[in-house]
Amino acid sequence: MAVAAGVGAGERCEAMNWRDRLADKVEELLRRRLRARQARQRAASADGRAGAGPGAPPGAMSGPVLYYTETLIDHFVDPRNVGEMAADEANGYAVVGDPSCGDQMKLWIRVEDGRIAAIRFRSFGCPGAIATSSMATELARGKTLAEALALTDDEVIEALGGIPENKRHCSLLAINALHAAIRDYQQRAEVREATDAVQAAAGR
Ligand code: FES
């Protein structure tokens, strides 16, 4: 500790008193900040137990950082259109993955009269991936191919009532799989048409 020149033992110069007062003030400030932070943490925990946190949409179930809406939880615990289709049932198929998290989705469609008559999926991923896959298949079922191709991940998220920001990418899995399965159907249809045309020409 630096001592002012000329100050004897037991004496305190003005600079030392000023430094101690400053240290007291800094300590008090730090204590106040700590108390405020603890109060915020307690409030956040209470929000998490009681329901939605600040900024959570209606129906949100947990804390302010990572919340799932009731609709999303419903589609996670009771996903619609889960399953597979046999090769002779489906006329469009896709498997897509998200390289950032390793999740994967397989999707089968049966197109009849230009509409998605049946759709099934298997999702190997997080709750967000399963819920968005379920909702995307619900939105796509019965739609024309053009309508299904126009579906966006934002519409899937909106139908679920929202999704935590760090889970938004999960919805891309379903939309990408849906669009890829439709393209697969279209390519198969083109091949069939070309084959029919060749056979018809050969039969003439
Ligand atoms: S965390 Fe990757 S799909 Fe959900």
pLDDT digits (tens, 9 = 90+) for 139-170: 999 999 999 999 999 999 999 999 998 888 88
CA–centroid distance, residue 21 to ligand 1 (Å): 54
Residue 37 has pLDDT above 80, yes or no: no
Same domain, 101 and 189: yes
Same domain, 89 and 127: yes
Most ligand 1 atoms within 8 A of CB, residue of 105, 163, 165, 169 to mutate: 169
Q: Is residue 77 part of a domain?
A: yes
The two beta strands, 104-112 and 115-124, are antiparallel
Q: Is 153 in the pocket of ligand 1 (CB under 6 A)?
A: no
CA–centroid distance, residue 2 to ligand 1 (Å): 58
CA–centroid distance, residue 169 to ligand 1 (Å): 7
Check residue 17 and give its pLDDT. 66
Check residue 25 and give its pLDDT. 66
Q: Is residue 5 part of a domain?
A: no
> What's the CA dihedral at 138, 144, 146, 151 to 10 degrees?
-10
High-pLDDT (> 90) share of the chain, %: 51
Q: Is residue 138 part of a domain?
A: yes
Q: Is residue 23 part of a domain?
A: yes
Exactly one of 44, 61, 82, 101 is catalytic; which is it? Answer: 101
Model confidence at 200, in pLDDT bands (50, 70, 90)? confident
- Comparing 18-27, 55-64, 76-85, 96-105, which segment has the lowest mean pLDDT? 55-64
Q: Is residue 204 part of a domain?
A: no
The total of structural domains in the chain comes to 2
For 117, phi then psi, to 5°, come to -80, -30
Q: Regarding predicted confidence, which is higher, 115 or 57?
A: 115
- Comparing 25-39, 107-121, 135-149, which segment has the lowest mean pLDDT? 25-39
Kindly report whether the global pTM for this prediction surpasses the value 0.85.
no
Same domain, 126 and 76: yes
Domain of 188 in residue numbering reads as 70-199
Same domain, 20 and 120: no
Provide the terminal-to-terminal Cα distance of the chain, rounded to the nearest Å.
107
Handedness of CA 189, 191, 192, 193 (dihedral sign): positive
Q: Is 172 in the pocket of ligand 1 (CB under 6 A)?
A: no
Same domain, 29 and 95: no
CA atoms of 85 and 105, how far apart (whole Å) = 14
Q: Is residue 8 part of a domain?
A: no
Residue 13 annotated among the catalytic residues of the structure:
no
* Average per-residue pLDDT for the chain: 81
- Token pair, residue 41, equals 């943490």
* 83-88, long-range: CB < 8 A, 24+ apart: 83/120, 83/121, 83/122, 84/108, 84/120, 84/122, 85/110, 85/118, 85/120
Q: Tokens 């939105």 belong to which residue?
A: 139
CA–centroid distance, residue 166 to ligand 1 (Å): 9
| CATH for 180 | 3.90.1010.10
Give the residue, by CA position, lying nearest to ligand 1 atom 3: 170
Check residue 18 and give its pLDDT. 64
- Comparing 13-27, 44-58, 148-162, which segment has the lowest mean pLDDT? 44-58
Q: Is residue 60 part of a domain?
A: no
Most ligand 1 atoms within 8 A of CB, residue of 68, 75, 98 to mutate: 98
Same domain, 76 and 171: yes
Residue 86 has pLDDT above 50, yes or no: yes
The two beta strands, 92-97 and 115-124, are unpaired
CA atoms of 156 and 71, how far apart (whole Å) = 11
Same domain, 40 and 78: no
Check residue 72 and give its pLDDT. 94
Q: Is residue 120 part of a domain?
A: yes
